[in-house]
Structure 1
Amino acid sequence: MVTVGKAAPSFALPDQEGKVHRLSDYRGKWVVLYFYPKDDTPGCTKEACSFRDEKGRLEQMGAVVLGVSADDTASHGKFASKYGLNFPLLADPSTEVIRAYGAWGTKNLYGKEYEGILRQTFLIDPTGHVARVWEKVKAEDHALEVAQALQELQQEQA
């Protein structure tokens, strides 16, 4: 389980264009790392579009947004293109990084239990440590919630 104050697990994953992103690439920046179940599904689309719409504000605060799911790069490419997503969607088909962050677990849909990706977000500080964790995310307006938390954290550090 990844908790506040701990070093964030490192990763190297390809985005929708095949470019590999590593956590170490973002040293010195805030990283919004959000895990979502599936490309182009209602909740995941709302969440992704929320981050798309808040990206400018987050960037002004020195943050980058990275989405992660088990979908492949081709699926990510279609999803990003369809909704004009302006940030990297990282492909983790092996679920290795998803599991390292603890964003994998038991879910319940219509009374049926199954294992899958949990909708979670991690705010990683410029030193690579976890500054905030959202374990139960409401897809709509989540990016606004993250932006507000980032602003609060930065004010505390000022």
Structure 2
Amino acid sequence: MSERLQAGDTAPAFTLSDADGNQVSLADHLGRKVIVYFYPAALTPGCTTQACDFTDNLEVFAGAGYDVIGISPDKPEKLGKFRETEDLKVTLLSDPDHAVLEAYGAYGEKQNYGRTYVGVIRSTVIVDEQGTVERALYNVKATGHVAKLLRDLKIAAG
């Protein structure tokens, strides 16, 4: 299983397809802080709550110098449907082979309803302007996570 990132680590570089098939790289965001969040599946209740919370607060994050990127194993077509259905403004990237999920420690063994399996670990990694991990949060809750992030980062919600 993949190692979890720690503050001070260099954030693993990535280039993935967005919902429109465009290539998006972490390097495109150098000079800005980036909130990279990993979620199991588009169009599911928890992931929808989380994506909508990020979308609702996107301007607040942007005003504080943060870009937001959501990554899941979903194919770009499904991400496009997710974006359209929920009117999402967050950049959603597709990682079907789990390479980036694994590099960030967001894929591995997890438990749900008493059973253990391998899958996406709902996680958020905050990367600073130079590409260094500022915070790495694992097993976060879908509901209330964005509000907690705003408090922890001392960003005033609109």
TM-score, structure 1 as length reference: 0.92
On the 8 A contact 2:19/2:92 being kept in 1, the answer is: yes
Whether 1:130 aligns to 2:122 is no
On the 8 A contact 1:47/1:140 being kept in 2, the answer is: yes
CA positional deviation for 1:113: 1.6
State the one-letter code of the partner of 1:15.
Answer: D
Q: 1:37 is paired with a residue of what secondary structure?
A: coil
Q: For structure 2, list consecutive stretches of 5 or more residues without a partner in the other structure.
A: none
Q: Give the paired residue count.
A: 152
Q: For structure 1, list consecutive stretches of 5 or more residues without a partner in the other structure.
A: 153-158
Tell me the equivalent position of 1:67. 70
On the 8 A contact 2:5/2:105 being kept in 1, the answer is: yes
On the 8 A contact 2:51/2:90 being kept in 1, the answer is: no
Q: 1:143 is paired with a residue of what secondary structure?
A: helix
Tell me the equivalent position of 1:15. 18
CA positional deviation for 1:49: 0.7
State the one-letter code of the partner of 2:24.
Answer: H
Alignment of 1:1-150 (within 5 A): 1-150=4-153
| Structure with the bigger percentage of helix | 1
CA deviation profile, 1:99-145 (whole Å, cap 9, x unmatched): 00000111223322210000000011111101111112111121222
Q: 1:94 is paired with a residue of what secondary structure?
A: coil
CA positional deviation for 1:98: 0.2
Cα-Cα RMSD: 1.2
**Identity between Structure 1 and Structure 2 (%):** 39
CA positional deviation for 1:19: 1.3
Residues 101-110 or 11-20, more deviating: 101-110
CA positional deviation for 1:17: 1.0
| Cα 1:141–1:111 shift into 2, 3 Å | closer
On the 8 A contact 1:47/1:142 being kept in 2, the answer is: yes
CA deviation profile, 1:1-49 (whole Å, cap 9, x unmatched): 2110111000000110111111110000010000000011111111111
Q: What stretches of structure 1 move > 3 A for 4+ residues in a row?
A: none
Tell me the equivalent position of 1:155. none
